[in-house]
Chains A and B, each alone.
Chain A
Amino acid sequence: DAKTTQPTSMDCAEGRAANLPCNHSTISGNEYVYWYRQIHSQGPQYIIHGLKNNETNEMASLIITEDRKSSTLILPHATLRDTAVYYCIVRVREGATSGTYKYIFGTGTRLKVLA
């Protein structure tokens, strides 16, 4: 019961911006969107997260639509080292009043940065 839908794969030219879309049309009002990336056979690396405002850090920018049904991760100047699988994840609460949260992973987008 993945809550996110992403393209299976994308290519991006080195030095250009990589825009990775994610659909999360069933997201609830208090559920955050997280982005991680995973290089082959390594643990996922945290990139960024947000609730409803756009966010930016040293790695990327996250643009969330006003209705929160979709978002886009932007890598402003992609390099060959950005080649990885990118996961858009919804963080959900376990139970109505629980203080426990869990991640719902989809299958991710395989981004290939081309020289």
Chain B
Amino acid sequence: DGGITQSPKYLFRKEGQNVTLSCEQNLNHDAMYWYRQDPGQGLRLIYYSQIVNDFQKGDIAEGYSVSREKKESFPLTVTSAQKNPTAFYLCASSDTGRETQYFGPGTRLLVL
């Protein structure tokens, strides 16, 4: 069953803590993306990666970090420098050359 998985579905964090969100895909896609969604808003791009060991900042990268050590995995770390981390986080992937992005189910992060 091919697709994109994100875990956990809900995540709670205390202020000042770093937290890592998981994103895994078995679609053999080269490109992966992280978005943030706030209530009633569209998605905003945090980071993206076109190939392994390479990634680029999106529109709202401050306070976030990523790694791309494997083609199928693109974890996102929300650091303590992110002042307003409570949001819905979505991961997506696409096949280079086709460019249609397919999204995972999302992780809702809540800062306590």
Contact = CB atoms under 8 A, between A and B. Distances in A.
A100 B56 contact: yes
Given A41-B88, A41-B108, A43-B90, A103 B43 contact: yes
Interface stretch (B70-78, B79-87, B97-105): B97-105
Nearest to B43: A105
B42 A43 contact: no
Interface stretch (A21-29, A44-52, A62-70, A76-84): A44-52
Interface residues of A, number: 23
A29 B90 CA distance: 29
Given A42-B106, A108-B42, 11 more contacts: A41-B88, A41-B108, A43-B105, A44-B43, A44-B103, A99-B50, A99-B96, A100-B48, A102-B45, A103-B43, A107-B40
Interface of B: 4, 40-45, 48, 50, 56, 58, 88, 90, 92, 96, 99-106, 108
